[in-house]
């Protein structure tokens, strides 16, 4: 594997730079904040209240959350401690111990364990290990601790030497036998036994029993098996374990690629207090005792009845579990063409439906992940089809947003990560479902993000080199495998002994901790497998395999009850929520049983293959789905009925029936986060391959086998840069090329289809040509969608379509070698033109109703006259089109339900060249307002971004006025582009204003010389910065002949304290690329000066750069290069001097500045630092780059998606970039010198 792909945690001493006072931590190309960034406009963004309740050994270590006992960490007391088999509750005077077969503890308090006089205000966590917790009560005079662990029928206590143990028995029959105190039938038929040290005595006073423990400091108690008939005999038998205390518990795992076995070893370190016993008594849960390794000790003791099924006891300090990992895939292979009713053209259309989708700007970390996953699954399919254009659009969309999340900029409050040191957690803003305030669901949310990161590395190799360390922080946050990690707890979400994840950060419900969506937990596990595999990090890969394989066994026991030994009697064969001491079929948003099924299956993708391994169970669930949900009714509109997810699940069993149901319900409402293209691809791939064959494993984790009853399909994906051979357990060997998916059904022939025309008039014909590769080609069939047009058996393979009527034609070919074939790319031929809605272009000046967008002569105008992200018209106006349009009385024919990425086009006739004003009727029911939108003419942006304010409701209309639309006379296509929706648009009125527009950015108000303006009152101070305008005096008068200047004094407040000035207009850096100012300060050389540009009223929309001072006590000119921004809507200048340090009001925290300008080039001293000559530009083949006085150390050439296409390291002042292999278009050269990194645009003709 290429070393550039290796991101090995074991050698990754993450190279981070930490700003002063640790506000921002830079990690690779990413960063996060260590200071709370504040709330957004809706008051979102939070963090856990209070401080963790820790003491003793637990202090100083990362705070553990998301465990069965985590309420102890957050609250003064916990009333939901279910350790299996006991139930516990902490109170001021000690610990209540009881047995609750099901549900909450309520007021059950049969036994209270404490010390005489003990009265605390809270219980703290003083120690913990992989499956135990030690609770502590300390009121200064008295000190007691209790240790409990999952599956352990004992609780172990310790105290100070002068404390007296006090047991209060509120129910049950008590018997004392020397040092043993027996309580029979304490509650729900349970018997308990206390073991004091040998020689101890118990003293009774009413229902209170006390003991000095014979001068010792330890004692224990046990709950006896419910089936116990001779209590005294079993109590004495258990005495051998009573004085063997667990001092530590650990879980370790290993994955053997050769046989796909995952081995997990559980160990207990003991502290023997007295006696000859050396073993503890362990209770093994069903997912453990049913999967023991051949070499493991086996439980031979008593069995406890429990909400998790039988707990079988083992006399010992160690046991070993062995499971088999059965493989995952990134997506199913592209074999759908062997499914009889599959149409590549239909799949292409479904991909086109979402390829332009933007990601919402109003979202949260959970919803964001789902929608990214929708694009990811679709992009992978587009890649399989050779549709690189659609793939790259979706890659670019995911890349931009993912990198936004992975980068923090000062002042932003959305799309960022905040490390909360007190709670040892990485919080993502905006959060959802308590991900921030309660540390809920981190594995759910981060699973989507980590999966997206693996996707980025797959399609942009090297991405992980820049961003991988930030992604690894998310891995560590949810599942750090290092017990010595200083930032995050060990396996936060995963409980190694319970075998599954817990979702609630602080176990805040009376029922205990919980987990709802096991399928999203499994997605997190699969994301680690993909991420570890593609980055060459075997530790993360194997962690993912351990989690995936282990949690699968727990899910199959406790959520799905596949072995029918956990749910005693249930109407349904699965539950949607497992609680600490119960389970149910509810969800956190509804009690609808339909949702209960869906939440255990969603999202369905190549990481979900575990769901198809037990076909008998799939049949059982399918039978229930037919009985209890509306899945067979194409008219069922239940929003909790996630058709696509259920159909994909059904395809494990009967893909043909799934396809039939899919075809019968084309107008279903898609669940948020679901891709119709992926459903279509999945169902037909399963139909082509048959059922999953989990009996066959592989020596490579990204592999699977399918069996249609006649033939097997072997599938493997190779993320590495070198070809591999995958060996399956039945002996089959599959060669997989580098960075590819392969199957044994792949054919070594392929082709590319072209046409002599792509846009045609009615009745024109097209000449199709298929250029093929490979040998043994027997024929080429030409198709239009599902229709076979004809075939050619000899090269060159050609076909003439004959006269084509109006319409869109998706043409492709099948290249055959015998009965096997491959499908070419798909080309689109458009017959007919885009024409004005009314038949004639709309006149400007004039009024255009938004719903009067152009139409297409051939029918539906999607992707021709408009793009709409949904395929249903929710408004009803022009019902055969997808645009959501409606007639709204006096407002006319409007458009609504807008989403980012959508656009509409209007053929217009501009009467006069000049500058136009525009007024738009609009309504926005979003309290944060809507937009922005903007306009283009013939592909050139002619307006600024237009933002709309809240109008009070979706039916309350206002007018938005904007200006400076530069239009040229004649017939043009005007495009309305939606960057973000949340607005309904009404009549658009264009009016002539002037002969020429003031270029964007020319009316900002710059330059500022402070002689008359701005004044002191024009500054907006923030967070400890105070700005004034004053007369120039010594020593600042030396080197400055101005009469006035500005001054900012930073005194206390935040490390980003400063002040801002408002501009009249948005800045335009198309020609004037730099902001400069003159600065005088006594702050030391190297002081950081941050210039931030903001959109007024939306500080999260900003750009910023830092420079450092080079002198002290004299004037210098500083410059910031914003050339990459072009035209902006940034209309605030924010000054943050000595950024990262807190000011103290002294001379070194005082900054004088003057002459703020926007310039096209720099003064001679500054320009020499960044002066490059690039020629020829544009160029047909190569560019020469020369610099005057510094060496060029490296150059990276990026395409418009930001993907690196060339790199070189000249280490000279002149070099040549060979662009012969590059396609025509725009590129950017990132040039690195000793003075910094600079960007130059390159144009390839």
Q: Which residues are catalytically annotated?
A: 441, 516, 520
Residues 976 and 935: beta-carbon distance below 8 Å: yes
Residues 153 and 222: beta-carbon distance below 8 Å: yes
Q: Which residues pair with 797 in a beta bridge?
A: 770
Six-digit token string for 1235: 């003075």
Residues 798 and 753: beta-carbon distance below 8 Å: no
Six-digit token string for 998: 């003031």
Alpha carbon dihedral 1159, 409, 1107, 1098, in 10-degree steps, equals 30
Residue 307, classified by CB atoms within 10 Å of its CB into exposed (0-12), middle (13-18) or buried (19+), is buried
Outline where DSSP puts E strands in 1096-1209: 1098-1108, 1116-1121, 1132-1137, 1143-1144, 1150-1159, 1172-1175, 1182-1187, 1192-1198, 1204-1208
Please state, in angstroms and rounded to a whole number, the distance separating the CA atoms of residues 693 and 819: 25
> How many whole angstroms from its chain centre is CA 1137?
34
Six-digit token string for 654: 């009967």
Please state, in angstroms and rounded to a whole number, the distance separating the CA atoms of residues 618 and 534: 31
Q: How far is CA 315 from CA 230, 231, 236, 265, 869, in A?
A: 20, 19, 15, 16, 62
> 1136-1152: string of b/e by CB count within 10 Å (b at 16+)?
bbbbbbbbeeeebbbbb
Helices (H), 942-1067: none
420 CB neighbour count, 10 Å cutoff: 17
Six-digit token string for 802: 């004959």
Please tell me the total number of residues recorded for the chain in this structure: 1245
> How many whole angstroms from its chain centre is CA 1091?
30
Question: Do β-strands 930-937 and 970-978 pair in parallel, antiparallel, or remain unpaired?
Answer: antiparallel
DSSP one-letter string for 888-952: -GGG-EEE-S--TT-EEEEEEEE-S-EEEEEEEEEE--STT-EEEEEEEETTEE-S--EEE---S
Which candidate, 786, 851, 853, 861, places its Cα nearest to that of 823? Answer: 786
752 CB neighbour count, 10 Å cutoff: 15
Task: Beginning with the edge strand found earlier in the chain, give each strand of the sheet holding 1020-1022 in spatial order.
Answer: 1020-1022, 1058-1062, 1132-1137, 1088-1095, 1098-1108
Q: 969 Cβ partners below 8 Å, 6+ apart?
A: 910, 911, 912, 913
Q: At 311, give phi and psi (nearest 5°).
A: -105, 120
Six-digit token string for 939: 């592909």
Six-digit token string for 332: 């199913």
Residues 321 and 293: beta-carbon distance below 8 Å: yes
Residues 348 and 387: beta-carbon distance below 8 Å: yes
Q: How far is CA 306 from CA 191, 569, 811, in A?
A: 15, 14, 62
Q: What is the DSSP letter of 9?
A: G
Q: 839 Cβ partners below 8 Å, 6+ apart?
A: none
């Amino acid at each position: 594997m290429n070393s550039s792909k290796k991101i090995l945690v074991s050698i990754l001493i993450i190279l981070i730079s930490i700003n002063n006072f640790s506000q921002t931590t830079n990690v690779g190309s990413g960063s996060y904040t260590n200071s709370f960034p504040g709330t957004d406009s809706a008051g979102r963004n939070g963090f856990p209240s209070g401080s963790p309740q820790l003491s003793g050994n637990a202090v100083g270590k990362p705070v553990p959350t998301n465990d069965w006992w985590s309420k102890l960490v957050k609250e003064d007391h916990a009333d939901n401690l279910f350790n299996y088999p006991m139930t516990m509750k902490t109170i001021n005077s000690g610990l209540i111990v009881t047995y609750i077969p099901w549900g909450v503890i309520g007021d059950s308090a049969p036994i209270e364990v404490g010390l005489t006089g003990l009265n605390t205000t809270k219980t703290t966590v003083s120690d913990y290990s992989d499956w135990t917790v030690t609770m502590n009560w300390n009121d200064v005079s008295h000190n007691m601790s209790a240790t409990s662990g999952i599956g352990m029928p004992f609780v172990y206590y310790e105290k100070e030497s002068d404390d007296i143990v006090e047991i209060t028995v509120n129910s049950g029959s008590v018997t004392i036998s020397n040092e043993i105190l027996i309580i029979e039938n304490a509650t729900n038929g349970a018997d308990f036994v206390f073991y004091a040290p040998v020689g101890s005595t118990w003293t009774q006073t009413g229902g209170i029993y006390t003991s000095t423990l014979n001068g010792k400091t330890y004692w224990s108690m046990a709950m006896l098996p419910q089936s116990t008939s001779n209590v005294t005999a079993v109590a004495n038998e258990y005495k051998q374990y009573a004085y063997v205390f667990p001092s530590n518990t650990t879980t370790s795992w290993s994955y053997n690629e050769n046989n796909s076995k995952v081995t997990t070893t559980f160990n207990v370190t003991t502290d023997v207090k007295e006696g000859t016993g050396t073993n503890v008594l362990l209770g093994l849960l069903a997912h453990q005792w049913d999967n023991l390794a051949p070499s493991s000790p086996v439980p031979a003791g008593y069995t406890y009845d429990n909400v998790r099924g039988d707990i079988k006891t083992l006399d010992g300090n160690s046991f070993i579990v062995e499971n088999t990992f059965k493989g995952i895939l990134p997506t199913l292979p592209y074999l759908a063409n062997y499914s009889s009713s599959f149409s590549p053209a239909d799949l292409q259309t479904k991909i086109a439906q979402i390829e332009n989708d933007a990601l919402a700007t109003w979202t949260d970390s959970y919803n964001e992940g789902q929608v990214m996953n929708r694009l990811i699954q679709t992009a992978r399919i587009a890649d399989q089809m050779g549709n690189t254009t659609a793939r790259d659009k979706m890659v670019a969309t995911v890349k931009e947003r993912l990198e936004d999340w992975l980068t923090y900029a000062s002042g932003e409050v959305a799309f960022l990560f905040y490390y909360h040191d007190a709670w040892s957690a990485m919080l993502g803003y905006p959060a959802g479902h308590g991900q921030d305030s309660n540390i809920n669901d981190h594995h759910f949310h981060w699973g989507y993000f980590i999966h997206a990161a693996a996707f980025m590395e797959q399609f942009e190799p090297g991405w992980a080199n820049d961003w991988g360390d930030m992604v690894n922080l998310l891995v560590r946050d949810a599942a750090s495998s290092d017990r010595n990690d200083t930032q995050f707890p060990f396996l936060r979400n995963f409980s190694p002994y319970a075998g599954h994840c817990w979702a609630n950060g602080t176990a805040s419900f009376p029922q205990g901790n919980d987990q709802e969506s096991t399928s999203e937990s499994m997605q997190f596990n699969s994301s680690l497998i993909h991420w570890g595999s593609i980055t060459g990090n075997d530790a993360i890969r194997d962690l993912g395999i351990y989690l995936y394989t282990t949690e699968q066994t727990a899910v199959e026991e406790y959520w799905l009850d596949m072995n029918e030994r956990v749910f005693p009697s249930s109407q349904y064969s699965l539950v949607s929520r497992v609680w600490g001491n119960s389970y149910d079929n509810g969800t956190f948003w509804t009690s609808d049983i339909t949702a209960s099924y869906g939440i255990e299956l969603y999202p369905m993708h190549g990481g979900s293959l575990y769901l198809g391994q037990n076909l008998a169970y799939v049949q059982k669930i399918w039978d229930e789905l037919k009985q209890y949900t509306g899945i067979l009714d194409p008219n069922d509109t239940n929003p909790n009925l996630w058709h696509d997810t259920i159909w994909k699940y059904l395809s494990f069993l009967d893909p043909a029936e799934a396809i039939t149901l899919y075809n019968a319900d084309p107008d279903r409402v898609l669940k948020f986060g679901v891709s119709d293209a992926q459903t279509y691809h999945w169902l037909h791939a399963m139909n082509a391959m048959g059922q999953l064959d989990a009996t066959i494993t592989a020596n490579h984790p990204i592999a699977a086998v399918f069996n249609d009853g006649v033939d097997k399909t072997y599938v493997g994906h190779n993320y590495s840069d070198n070809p591999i051979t995958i060996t399956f357990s039945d002996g089959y060997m599959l060669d997989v090329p580098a960075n590819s998916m392969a199957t044994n059904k792949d054919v070594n022939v392929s082709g590319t289809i072209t046409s002599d025309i792509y846009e045609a008039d009615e009745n024109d014909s097209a000449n199709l040509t298929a250029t093929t590769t490979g040998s043994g080609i027997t024929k080429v069939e030409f198709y239009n969608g599902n229709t076979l047009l004809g075939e050619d058996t000899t090269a060159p393979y050609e076909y003439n379509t004959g006269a084509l009527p109006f319409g869109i034609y998706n043409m492709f070919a099948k290249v055959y070698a015998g009965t096997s074939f491959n499908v070419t790319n798909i080309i689109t031929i458009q017959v007919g033109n885009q024409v004005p809605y009314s038949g004639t272009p709309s006149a400007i000046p004039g009024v255009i109703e938004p719903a009067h967008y152009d139409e297409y002569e051939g029918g539906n105008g999607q992707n021709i006259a408009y793009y709409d992200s949904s395929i249903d018209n929710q408004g009803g106006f022009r019902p055969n089109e997808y645009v959501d349009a409606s007639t709204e009385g006096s407002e006319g024919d409007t458009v609504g339900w807008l989403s980012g990425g959508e656009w509409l086009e209007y053929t217009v006739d501009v009467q006069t060249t000049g500058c136009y004003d525009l007024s738009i009727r609009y309504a926005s029911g979003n309290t944060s307002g809507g937009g922005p939108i903007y306009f283009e003419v013939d592909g050139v942006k002619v307006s600024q971004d237009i933002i709309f304010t809240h109008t009070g409701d979706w039916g309350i209309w206002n007018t938005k006025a904007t200006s400076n639309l530069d239009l040229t006379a004649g017939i043009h296509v005007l495009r309305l582009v939606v960057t973000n929706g949340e607005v309904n648009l009404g009549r658009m009125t264009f009016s002539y204003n002037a002969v020429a527009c003031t270029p964007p950015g020319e009316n900002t108000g710059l330059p500022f010389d402070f002689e008359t303006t701005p004044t002191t009152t024009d500054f907006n101070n923030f967070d400890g910065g105070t700005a004034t305008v004053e007369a120039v005096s010594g020593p600042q008068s030396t080197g400055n002949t101005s009469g006035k200047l500005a001054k900012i004094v930073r005194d206390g407040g935040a490390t980003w304290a400063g002040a801002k000035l408002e501009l009249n207009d948005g800045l335009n850096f198309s020609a004037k690329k730099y902001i400069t100012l003159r600065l005088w300060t006594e702050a030391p050389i190297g002081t950081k000066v941050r210039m931030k540009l903001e959109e007024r009223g939306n500080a999260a929309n900003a750009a910023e750069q830092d420079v450092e001072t080079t002198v002290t006590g004299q004037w210098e000119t500083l410059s910031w290069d914003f050339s990459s921004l072009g035209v902006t809507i940034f209309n605030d200048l924010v000054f943050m001097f000595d950024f990262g340090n807190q000011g103290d009001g002294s001379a070194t925290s005082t900054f004088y500045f003057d002459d703020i300008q926007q310039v096209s080039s720099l003064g001679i001293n500054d320009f020499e630092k960044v002066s490059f000559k690039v020629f020829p530009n544009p160029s047909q083949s190569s560019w020469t780059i020369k610099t005057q006085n510094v060496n060029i150390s490296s150059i990276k050439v990026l395409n418009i998606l930001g993907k690196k296409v060339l790199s070189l390291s000249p280490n000279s002042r002149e070099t040549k970039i060979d662009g012969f292999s590059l396609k025509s278009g725009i590129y950017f050269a990132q040039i690195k010198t000793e003075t910094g990194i600079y960007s130059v645009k390159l144009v390839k003709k």
